[in-house]
Amino acid sequence: MVRFDTLDKKPKLYNIAVLSAVMAAVAVCLLRSNMENKAFGICLALDVYLALVILLLVRALIRQIRYNPYSYNTIYYNGFALFLFSLLITFIVLAVNAAKDPGNYGLEAVISHLHSSSSYFMVFSLPFIIVFSAALCVSNISLIRHEGKRLVNLLGIILSVLMVGSALIFIRIDFYVSGSALEVMIHELVMNIFYSLYLYFECMLIGAIAADIISARYEPDPDKDFLIILGCGIQKDGRPTPLLRGRIDRALDFYRRQKEKTGKELIFVPSGGQGPDEVIPESASMKQYLMEQGIPEEQIIEEDQSADTFENMKYSREKIWAKDPGAKVAFSTTNYHVFRGGLYARRVKMRAVGMGAKTKWYFWPNASVREFVGLLTEHRVKQAVVFVSIIAVYTILTLAAYL
């Protein structure tokens, strides 16, 4: 298993830029050569290029996890590696067809497949989207039966309808098109912009799911000095809710195993302020529960000012650094929340490693959707740069295909 935080240098992707430049040079040489079946040669070069890029992305993903698993790069490497894999399959098939029938599979087919790659990816991933959406709806229906009808409990169903519905609408609109060459080109240009949006959204979704699973299943090394417990609401009588109790029990389980394996003690940092409908701060509720489980009061430091996950990490870091700036820190939260919690920890310059408490099977999918929506609303500049770049590439390919 790949261990977190074992590299000090962030992985770079200069090698992919160099490889892309080499691929462009090879393509130019093939186009200017006397080779009879240029389409086959370019497809073959593209297949080698895509295979190498996928390997470099996987290598970068592994190194990113070892450097900082709680990063948008972890999402991007996961999602776009899958997209490039679908592109690789497409051009392997095209290379075989170009070798067998060069008359019908020439350079125009290569450009056409490139500019249609986002739509091909939608078709390629549609079975996954349908299965994923069906499973999400089933879990949401069960969630509504147990937790009641609220808008937040319908997020999974809403996302499923949007994903499947958008894919089917795009495919239908794209299939039925007629008119002049200019009208067809404009249609293709508009459709590719929509496909680019869908491609980005789907790659982010797949990457986020993979990042969540990697983060939730990870077990921190038993050498920690402090263990933050993220708050999430308490009952009317001041006792932890079942969800919060799960986070505390997960922290206690780690503490006991660490003490058994290494003999090392740690300090608990229950983190959470007092909401308008709460009788005491969440940190006080967690502290009381910890003491009931046999944890001495001197082994607990309350953080009772935070109102959200970002502030949980920010104020907890201040408490911890006041004691030991070089401390090794872990945090406990619910499984679906580990990745985002780690993202906030790194944002406040704290290398905390998360552990995930289990939750009911029908609760996790909908909660993961909420986390995903939260991720989409952050790092807007970085996401805009990636998204605009994708649109620019497909716009250029569409114009090249028709002009």
Region 374-400: mean pLDDT is 84
Q: How confident is the model at residue 253 (pLDDT cuts 50, 70, 90)?
A: very high
b/e per residue 382-394 (b: at least 16 CB within 10 A): ebeeebeebbebb
Query: pLDDT tens across 282-301, in order?
Result: 999 999 999 999 999 999 99
- CB within 8 Å of 87: residues ≥ 6 apart: 50, 117, 120, 121
CA–CA distance, 144 with 178 (Å, rounded to integer):
45
- CB within 8 Å of 104: residues ≥ 6 apart: 97
The CA angle 117-119-120, to the nearest 5 degrees, is 60
Query: Is residue 180 pLDDT above 80, yes or no?
Result: no
The CA angle 391-394-399, to the nearest 5 degrees, is 125
CA–CA distance, 26 with 378 (Å, rounded to integer):
39
Q: How confident is the model at residue 269 (pLDDT cuts 50, 70, 90)?
A: very high
Helical residues (DSSP H) of 349-402, grouped into ranges: 363-376, 380-402
Q: How many CA atoms lie within 13 A of 297 on its CB side?
A: 2
Min mean pLDDT across 13-27, 128-142, 251-265, 326-340 is at 128-142
Q: Which residue has the tokens 């500019």?
A: 115
Query: Is residue 316 pLDDT above 80, yes or no?
Result: yes
C-beta of residue 357 within 8 angstroms of C-beta of residue 252: no
What's the token pair of residue 214? Answer: 């990697």
C-beta of residue 201 within 8 angstroms of C-beta of residue 79: no
- Between residues 53 and 383, which one has the greater pLDDT? 53
Residue among 378, 384, 333 at smallest CA distance from 220? 333
Q: How confident is the model at residue 120 (pLDDT cuts 50, 70, 90)?
A: confident
Q: What is the DSSP letter of 300?
A: B
Region 376-400: mean pLDDT is 84
Write 116-120 long-range contacts (CB < 8 A, 24+).
117/86, 117/87, 117/90, 118/192, 118/195, 118/196, 118/198, 118/199, 118/390, 118/394, 119/170, 119/171, 119/174, 119/191, 119/192, 119/195, 120/86, 120/87, 120/90
Residue among 44, 52, 35, 38 at smallest CA distance from 96? 44
Query: Is residue 181 pLDDT above 80, yes or no?
Result: no
SS3 category, 391: helix
What pLDDT score does 112 carry? 84
Query: Is residue 49 pLDDT above 70, yes or no?
Result: yes
Q: What is the DSSP letter of 13?
A: -
What's the token pair of residue 394? Answer: 């497909």
Report pTM. 0.88
- Between residues 118 and 57, which one has the greater pLDDT? 57
C-beta of residue 306 within 8 angstroms of C-beta of residue 231: yes
CA–CA distance, 385 with 387 (Å, rounded to integer):
6
What string of DSSP letters covers 205-268? HHHHHHHHHHHHH----S--SEEEEE---B-TTSPBPHHHHHHHHHHHHHHHHHHHHH----EE
Query: Is residue 167 pLDDT above 90, yes or no?
Result: no
What pLDDT score does 263 carry? 95
What pLDDT score does 144 carry? 87
b/e per residue 324-359 (b: at least 16 CB within 10 A): eeebbbbbbbbbbbbbbbbbbbeebebebbbbbbeb
What pLDDT score does 56 carry? 96
C-beta of residue 81 within 8 angstroms of C-beta of residue 366: no
Region 240-251: mean pLDDT is 96
- Between residues 103 and 66, which one has the greater pLDDT? 66
Query: pLDDT tens across 335-384, in order?
Result: 999 999 999 999 999 999 999 999 888 777 878 888 888 888 777 888 88
**Whole-number Cα distances in Å, 329 to 4, 6, 204, 326, 357:** 13, 15, 28, 9, 17
Compute the Cα dihedral for 246, 251, 254, 255 and give only its sign.
Answer: negative
What pLDDT score does 175 carry? 66
Query: pLDDT tens across 20-40, in order?
Result: 999 999 999 998 998 889 999
Q: Where is mean pLDDT largest: 1-15, 156-170, 330-344?
A: 330-344
